[in-house]
Amino acid sequence: MLRLDKYLADVGIGTRSEVKKYLKYGLVSVNGSIVKDSSLKVDPKKDKVTYKGEDLLYQEYRYYILNKPAGCVSATKDGLSQTVIEILKNEPTRDLFPVGRLDKDTEGLLLITNDGKLAHNLLSPKKHVDKSYIAFVDKALEEKQLLEFKQGLDIGDETPTLPCEIKLATENEIISSLNNASFKICEGKNEIAYIVVLKEGRYHQVKRMFEHFGSTVIYLKRLTMGNLSLSPTLPIGQYRALTDEEIQILKER
Ligand code: URA
């Protein structure tokens, strides 16, 4: 059970003070009767709440996939830059947060939710959830370096990086990953791109792993997280709600 003003704010009708006004104007009814008392307790599973005659659907947890553009920060608040949450401004964003962080200049898959338990399960180092990236770099790695990359590197942290996967990206992987990205391949330039799959998420990890070999990441995009993939049809800077099936799959892992 929760207060009616909280219920209305949670479904995105307005702020707590705005919804109090809507209640006063008689715009809200519960089970067919107009209600003006914002402290009335409602059961989202049983009670039928309407606003201006339209039925409301209360979802306790919300899940979105964002194709994060470069230039915005993976945070809920920031004094200077746009945040990933601000991109979802048409949704009730109050309690949403990004699941983990992508650097300001990294693009691609970012899950946004208000489900703390799912976020914990996806981020906990113990759970080893795969995250895959395409990384465009300025210098190819030698075979020996690729082997070291896979086995784990000392990048200045307390422990070496966990074993991971790395392989040269195919032409198809390059083309499909750049379909909905801001990065463009320069005509005639032989781009070097790798697919990297990590089981952890340390600060600037992909960039630091390449830097270990004197290779600089010039563009980085996340392609997958667990069983969730960024579809090539989701334009850069756009988001969509996850389907029930996708939510189920994420929770099952
Ligand atoms: N590794 C990085 O270096 N940056 C990211 O944003 C994600 C992984």
Kindly report, residue by residue over 38-71, the tens digit of the pLDDT: 999 999 999 999 999 999 999 889 999 999 999 9
Are the beta carbons of 193 and 136 closer than 8 angstroms? Answer: yes
Q: Answer yes or no: are the C-beta atoms of 24 and 42 closer than 8 Å.
A: no
Please name the residue whose Cα sits nearest to atom 4 of ligand 1.
204
20 C-alpha to ligand 1 centroid (Å): 43
pLDDT for position 188: 65
Model pLDDT, residue 99: 96
Alpha helices (runs of H) in the chain, residue ranges in sequence order: 4-10, 16-24, 84-87, 116-123, 143-151, 171-178, 205-211, 244-252
For residue 253, pLDDT beyond 70: no
Ligand 1 contacts CB of residue 204 (under 6 A): yes
Tell me whether residue 105 is one of the annotated catalytic residues: no
As beta bridge partners, residue 133 has 196, 222
Predicted pLDDT at 127: 87
**Which has the closest alpha carbon to 205: 100, 82, 68, 71?**
100
Please work out whether the CB of residue 202 comes within 6 Å of at least one atom of ligand 1: no
Ligand 1 near 6 CB (within 6 A): no
